[in-house]
Amino acid sequence: MLARLPEHLRAPLALRYVAGFGTGEIAELLDLPPGTVYSHLHRGRRAFERAMWEYATESGLLAGHPGAGPRQEVTR
């Protein structure tokens, strides 16, 4: 699923959750301001979650599961 994300979202997620780097380290490695890294991590997590839900739905993994209905976006 991670491979489906755009590079600008995929790289920070991989560095954070696969390689275990901190936000400051990711900012240095990618030559980005820390605020941009935070933003890309947030948007990347949301995109990854959507991709996982789509995959689970398309694959039938949620069939018969109580939460299998259409997913509602939470707005604040």
Render pLDDT for 49-63 as a digit per residue (tens, 0 to 9). 999 998 888 888 876
Give the pLDDT confidence of 11-33 residue by residue, as tens digits: 999 999 999 999 999 999 999 99
* Cβ–Cβ under 8 Å, residues 12 and 40: yes
Domain ranges of the chain: 2-58
Report in angstroms the alpha-carbon separations of 14 from 9, 30, 43, 71, 75: 9, 12, 13, 26, 27
66 class by beta-carbon count within 10 Å (0-12 exposed, 13-18 middle, 19+ buried): exposed
Whole-prediction pTM value?
0.76
What percentage of the chain carries pLDDT values higher than 70? 82
Closest by Cα among 48, 44, 37, 46 to 74: 46
For 2-58, CATH number out of 1.10.600.10, 1.10.1240.10, 1.10.260.40, 1.10.10.10 equals: 1.10.10.10
Q: What is the DSSP letter of 18?
A: I
pLDDT of 8 > 90? The answer is yes
